[in-house]
Structure 1
Amino acid sequence: MTSMLPMWWFALPVLLLPLWWHLQKRERTRTEPLATARFLPAAAPRQQRVPRLIDLLLLFARLLLLVALIAWLAVLTMPLKRDTVFIDPALASDAWAVQQIRAAGMDAATREPLPADVWNWLARNEHAWHPSARFLIVARKLPMPALPPRLAHTVTLRTPAPHTPAPAAVSAPAERHVVIATSPERLARWKALFAAFSTAGDNAYRYVLTDQPTPETELIVWDRPDAQPPTSWQSPLWWRTTAAGAAPERRGHIWSASQWPLQDAAAARTLYEQWQRQSCPPGAYPMPAIQTMPAQRKTPLPATLAASPEWLAAAMLALFAIERILAHVRRSR
């Protein structure tokens, strides 16, 4: 057994209260004077109380009730769980998962479904496992946490190795639809800017430039300071000149500049990087496919009172009922 809040065990001296109470509860007996008592020498009366079985049972029940209460406040747990495999439900019957479990020597381990936030879940609940227990996590993909997990048990992680496509299987560049509303003499500059964008970065995109928006349009470039866009034009992102005035409602996110298109290479690079970060947020970095993380703590993290086992609450309820019954029987005699 382990306690998550061991300071509560300093309350054990409270057990002396029932003992003191039972010692003070001496029965008073009625004495009647006898006529012949005057011939006897005077002596102080003495009382001798013989404890009955019901009194001993009542004292024992009250002591157990206090011990159960202190154990509940100290979050007494019984770490009986042993080696456990946390497996993604999608891999429960996968041959690769069975092979990884066998390779880790966890064939006889208990299997549980993988929690959504496995690292925080383990940190809150690992007090239920025996100190010598091991954890094996089998998942398709597990995001790397911001900080390395610090657990009190050894954790082995197994995920499928990332698939590397063959060079011949490289797909065609993705298309990104852009609407450019500008004068004919400035259209060539915009086309040159997007041609440079198509070769920048790690992802090669093919920009489809049109003059009318479609449902696939993700950017509208409004480079007409002397006019307002039609109210039917919609896009998640707009590039507008500051001289174009306030934009109507339902326009999406607006980026404005005093002069379009950008002529400075550094400014154009910054614009491109910000656009990519907004429209294509990077995914979470996956953790390495196979790794073993040793225990970083000697004991699990302290738990809250809500983590107290249910059997302790049930034991307190039962002991309280027994104590009330015994007290009633004792008074009725």
Structure 2
Amino acid sequence: MSTAETPAAPVRKRPVEYEVTVTEVRMETHDTGTLFLDFGSAPVEYKAGQFINIDPHQFPALRALAAFLQEQKGRRELFRSYSMSSAPHEPLVAITVKDEEFLPGLTKYPPLLAPYLLHGRLPGARIKVQGFMGPYTLPDDVQERTDHLVHIVAGSGGVPNFSILKDALHRGLKLRHTVLCSNKTWADMLFREELEKLEAANPGTVKVLHTLTRETEESRFGPNVRKGRIGQALLEELIPDRQTCLVYACGPAISPWDRRKALETRTPATPRFMEAVLGHLHTLGVDDKRIKRETYG
């Protein structure tokens, strides 16, 4: 009598530490910039949609602030994670970072790393990063699962999806892409020109739309710009194949801190982008198994 063997669990690769050179910091909008990283001769293997970690403790300029925050929080400051906006075929690894502000009464702690990465005059500097991590990637059998990939993103949530889109097009995957980006204003739109070029170069394959929540005359920006938040009616219009599409959604969600505060005050936490989008998709009949999500708080 033979005994069936249980398949071994997949082995997760441990993050590898690299020392890289920052070749350029390019501002994309008034508060978001891209760092281009040269890994030199080190072999670089990652999947579109993944992220790297950066330890703030490596920077002498941040030691005092890190010590202050650790005293306030009662714990060691953690690594910060940044999604890559580059695709694996591109010569340099790029991460796109949104600046952070300290808003008295609204922000609990001053930001630590993001402002330094954008404004610390890092081009030419050697820094340490850990990579590559994250499950927000396309499955190997994506073409067997669907022919329509729907990207629903808000603000800097567009970073990993930009990587995924470029990678899928480069590899010639037989997928249609609907890219729906939500931002506050025209000036906040991340990768706008690059997305326009990809749409123009791939007619019938890439469709890009934007929604703006704080513009009063969105019509002056063209037919692909709508007013307001991403709502159910717009998703119904853009996703006719709700039983077969795959959705990749990335954007802000209720943070653990917001949830703790809601429990303490016995008031429900206010839904954010991700909670609203998931609610609309579920109402339209998109199965949760067909939705991949990545959030930040």
TM range (shorter): under 0.3
Asked which structure has the greater CA Rg, the reply is: 1
Say which structure, 1 or 2, has more relative contact order (CA 8 Å, 6+ apart): 1
Flag the structure with higher strand content. 2
